[in-house]
């Protein structure tokens, strides 16, 4: 199960600054830990996150091994027009999650 939750205000005024919160379910295994028998646990992290607003990228994040599990990424953008926000997380071992959220600007 690879789950992500995004929270976008469903409606906003034109020009308003809106806060967007995203939460992705991921263990963010650093690649530095070892098992009790001394074997290295291979790295398994989310490497990048991006959000595009009607096709225009408004946020991009690079993630590294020191970032906590289930990373919460919150950012703001300016509500320009009605449409959709597309979110994409990409990580090790073929991890890809895409979420879409609509926004209504009036």
Give residues in contact with another protein (CB under 8 A). 1, 3, 5, 7, 21, 23, 25, 27-28, 68-70, 72, 74
Q: Is residue 78 within 8 Å of residue 59, measured between CB atoms?
A: no
Q: Pick from 80, 77, 97: which is nearest to 88 by CA?
A: 97
- Burial code (b: 16+ CB inside 10 Å, e: under 16) for 21-44 equals ebebebebbeeeeeeeeeeeeebb
Distance of closest approach, residue 16 Cβ to another protein, in angstroms: 18
In the bound state with another protein, the residue whose beta carbon lies nearer, of 9 and 14, is 9
In the bound state with another protein, the residue whose beta carbon lies nearer, of 15 and 17, is 17
Residue 38, SS3 per DSSP: coil
Distance of closest approach, residue 83 Cβ to another protein, in angstroms: 21
In the bound state with another protein, the residue whose beta carbon lies nearer, of 4 and 79, is 4
Distance of closest approach, residue 10 Cβ to another protein, in angstroms: 13
């Amino acid at each position: 199960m690879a789950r992500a939750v995004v929270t976008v205000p469903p409606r906003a005024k034109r020009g308003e600054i809106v806060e967007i919160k995203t939460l992705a379910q991921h263990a963010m295994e650093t690649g530095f830990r070892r098992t009790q028998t001394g074997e290295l646990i291979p790295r398994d992290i989310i490497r990048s996150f991006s959000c595009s607003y009607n096709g225009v990228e408004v946020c991009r994040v690079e993630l590294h091994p020191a970032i906590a599990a289930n990373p919460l990424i919150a950012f703001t953008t300016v509500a320009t027009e009605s449409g959709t926000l597309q979110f994409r997380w990409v990580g090790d071992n073929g991890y890809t999650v895409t979420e879409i959220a609509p926004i209504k600007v009036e």
